[in-house]
């Protein structure tokens, strides 16, 4: 774990920073290196993940306490199943709780995450766009289903006029301690309270709307602004639009993954548009003007004489708006020279005359080359 940077250093805050300071620092740094603002930048993507990892720990009171005590080792799987307890691995031999009784409850599991504020879960949504909507940007309205705090009971889970009572089994701690005897002496085990399910409270008269959960499912209509130039597979984020938090904790986030329908004519390569276009063989030989379709209309382009099949022409600034940047990409037009399957008698006569002229010209060139 030595190669990991200190989480406080990652967010740029002091170790005694408040929750508000940590949240503010996270938002500022996450916005600066968000992958949507730096497409294809692996370094920014890695920094964004590092910032999220640091915030996930430091924004949780229980995880932060463990991190302050043990550092990164608190979450190292190699230290055992119970992250934060360097002696947890001894549970395989039945000695883990003995260490906890010797060294104190600081090494045991904490109930603060169950009894204190907890952030809500993140939500994910798949949004399908047309090729043009992705290219030009748009505003879409989506409907998500998410957990909301029950308005009837205010999230307490108790019927109006009543309140949850402290669990008599665990005394409101959410945990029960049991002393046992072994060949090594007495030791204490700590387990979540089964009576209150680790919450420390008992709801004797549950709210009729949420059935004691304190939360209800609701549909939410949201407007999503899709920036011009977004590509298939990229993700937009809307902070605090996920599931409601617990006990006053913040909402989770909503992550919207974009799917773009294919176009009948164009393909995309980053901000460039790719187009395969057929042209008559006469235009390829003699040169001439062709009409090229684009996303914004039709433009004229002069094909030079002698153009070969498969030649690609670049039309500047006729591509797609660069995401979160100024300017557009280009359009790359690859021409396919059409050879007609059927021709008229007059066309055949003309082509035969052309073939004779080419044959005579070729023979003349060979003759001159021989005498030379």
* Domain at 316, CATH number: 2.60.260.20
Query: Domain for residue 194, yes or no?
Result: yes
At 92 the pLDDT is: 37
Mean pLDDT estimate for the chain: 82
Question: At how many degrees (to 10) do helices 61-70 and 42-58 cross?
Answer: 100
Element (H, E) at 53: helix 42-58
The H-assigned helical ranges of 242-344 are 281-286
How many helices (H) and strands (E) the chain has is answered by 9, 15
Give per-residue pLDDT as tens, 98-136: 333 333 333 334 444 456 678 889 999 999 999 999 999
pLDDT at 46 > cutoff 50? yes
Query: Which residues lie closer than 8 Å to 183 by C-beta, 6 or more apart?
Result: none
Q: Do 362 and 315 have their domain in common?
A: no
Q: Do 235 and 282 have their domain in common?
A: no
Tokens of 55: 């915030």
Query: Domain for residue 6, yes or no?
Result: no
Q: Do 246 and 129 have their domain in common?
A: yes
pLDDT at 256 > cutoff 70? yes
Give per-residue pLDDT as tens, 171-194: 888 888 877 766 666 667 778 888
pLDDT at 76 > cutoff 90? no
Q: Do 147 and 236 have their domain in common?
A: yes
How far is it, in rounded angstroms, from Cα 329 to Cα 324? 13
Q: Do 318 and 363 have their domain in common?
A: no
Percent of the chain's residues with pLDDT above 90: 39
Query: Domain for residue 104, yes or no?
Result: no
Q: What is the band of 285 on the pLDDT scale with cuts at 50, 70, 90?
A: very high
Q: Do 319 and 275 have their domain in common?
A: yes
Q: Do 157 and 169 have their domain in common?
A: no
At 362 the pLDDT is: 57
Determine contact, residues 238/122, Cβ cutoff 8 Å: no
Q: What is the band of 242 on the pLDDT scale with cuts at 50, 70, 90?
A: very high
pTM > 0.85: yes or no: no
Q: Do 129 and 170 have their domain in common?
A: no
The whole domain housing 216 covers 117-161+207-261
Give per-residue pLDDT as tens, 190-202: 788 888 877 788 8
Query: Domain for residue 136, yes or no?
Result: yes
Number of domains in the chain: 4
Q: Do 213 and 148 have their domain in common?
A: yes
CA distances, 331 to each of 131, 274, 316, 317, 349 (Å): 15, 6, 7, 7, 39
Residue with tokens 């913040």: 250
Mean pLDDT, residues 85-110 taken together: 38
Q: Do 317 and 357 have their domain in common?
A: no
Q: Do 218 and 239 have their domain in common?
A: yes
Q: Do 231 and 334 have their domain in common?
A: no
C-alpha angle 96/100/105, rounded to 5°?
145
At 61 the pLDDT is: 84
Give per-residue pLDDT as tens, 225-235: 999 999 999 99
């Amino acid at each position: 774990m030595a190669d990991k940077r200190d989480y406080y250093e990652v967010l740029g805050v002091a170790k005694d920073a408040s929750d508000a300071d940590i949240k503010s620092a996270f938002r500022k740094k996450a916005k600066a290196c968000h992958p949507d603002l730096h497409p294809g930048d692996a370094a920014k993507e890695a920094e964004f993940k590092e910032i999220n990892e640091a915030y996930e720990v430091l924004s949780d009171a229980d995880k932060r306490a463990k991190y302050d005590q043990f550092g990164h080792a608190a979450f190292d799987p190699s230290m055992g199943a119970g992250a934060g307890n360097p002696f947890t691995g001894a549970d395989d031999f039945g000695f883990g709780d003995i260490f906890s009784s010797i060294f104190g409850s600081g090494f045991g599991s904490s109930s603060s995450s169950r009894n204190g504020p907890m952030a809500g879960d993140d939500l994910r949504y798949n949004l399908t766009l047309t090729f043009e909507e992705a290219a030009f940007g748009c505003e879409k309205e989506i409907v998500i289903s998410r957990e909301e705090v029950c308005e009837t009971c205010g999230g307490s889970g108790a019927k109006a006029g009543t309140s949850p009572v402290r669990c008599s089994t665990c005394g409101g701690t959410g945990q029960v301690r049991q002393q046992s005897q072994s060949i090594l002496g007495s030791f204490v085990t700590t387990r979540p309270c089964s009576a209150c399910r680790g919450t420390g409270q008992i709801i004797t008269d549950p709210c009729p709307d949420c059935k004691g959960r304190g939360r209800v499912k609701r549909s939410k209509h949201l407007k999503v602004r899709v920036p011009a130039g977004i590509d298939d597979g990229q993700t937009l984020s809307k902070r605090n639009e996920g599931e409601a938090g617990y006990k006053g904790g913040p909402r989770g986030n909503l992550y919207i993954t974009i799917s773009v329908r294919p176009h009948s004519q164009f393909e995309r390569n980053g901000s460039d548009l790719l187009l395969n276009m057929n042209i008559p063989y006469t235009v390829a030989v003699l040169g001439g003007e062709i009409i090229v379709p684009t996303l914004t209309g039709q433009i004229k382009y002069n094909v030079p004489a002698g153009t070969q099949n498969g030649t690609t022409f670049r039309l500047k600034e006729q591509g797609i708006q660069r995401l979160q940047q100024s300017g557009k990409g280009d359009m790359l037009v690859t021409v396919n020279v059409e050879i007609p399957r059927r021709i008229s008698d007059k066309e055949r006569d003309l082509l035969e005359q052309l073939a004779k002229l080419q044959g005579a010209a070729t023979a003349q060139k060979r003759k001159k080359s021989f005498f030379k």
